[in-house]
Amino acid sequence: MKTYAFRLKPGQDLREEIDTFVREHDIKAGVIVSCVGSLKKAVLRMAGAKPEAEPMKTYEGSFEIVSLVGTAEPGDRHLHIAISDKEGNVFGGHLKKGSLVEATAEVIIGQLEGVTFTRKPDPETGYDELVVE
């Protein structure tokens, strides 16, 4: 596995920067290995929410990134994030654009060799699901 590491600065959009990095490095089958840092704004789609029917939840304040996991391929990313507030409450969901770095975000992405990820409609789930080739 080839790995990449980069740091985001205050105000950068975590989701957009990951999207750009994957696209610019032509990552065909990527995984989030690690991400530590903080957000001042988090935009999340909650579990089970249908994007067309339920709005995203937006949290503003100071949040530690407790975990960021997911897969990445050209054209799409499936990223789940968990963040904690100053009381230690943890919550999470699908990471969406508009999630802004507070102080830093240190991102490590792994690129799987000899594998390509794509997404195709799955009639059982109603979503475009991962296909490993």
Tens of pLDDT, residues 51-107: 666 688 999 999 999 999 999 998 889 999 999 999 999 999 999 999 999 999 999
* pTM for the predicted model, two decimal places: 0.92
Find all residues with CB under 8 Å of 59, minimum gap 6, and list them: 41, 42, 44, 83, 91
pLDDT of 47 > 90? The answer is no
Give CA–CA dist 102/132, Å, rounded.
35
Lowest mean pLDDT among 42-46, 64-68, 77-81, 126-130: 126-130
Region of 11 (left: φ > 0; alpha: ψ -120 to 50; beta: rest) is left
Q: For the chain, what percent of residues have pLDDT higher than 90?
A: 86
**Domains, in order of start, for the chain:** 2-132 (3.30.1330.80)
Q: Residue 14 in contact with residue 77, Cβ under 8 Å?
A: no
Q: Residue 68 in contact with residue 35, Cβ under 8 Å?
A: yes
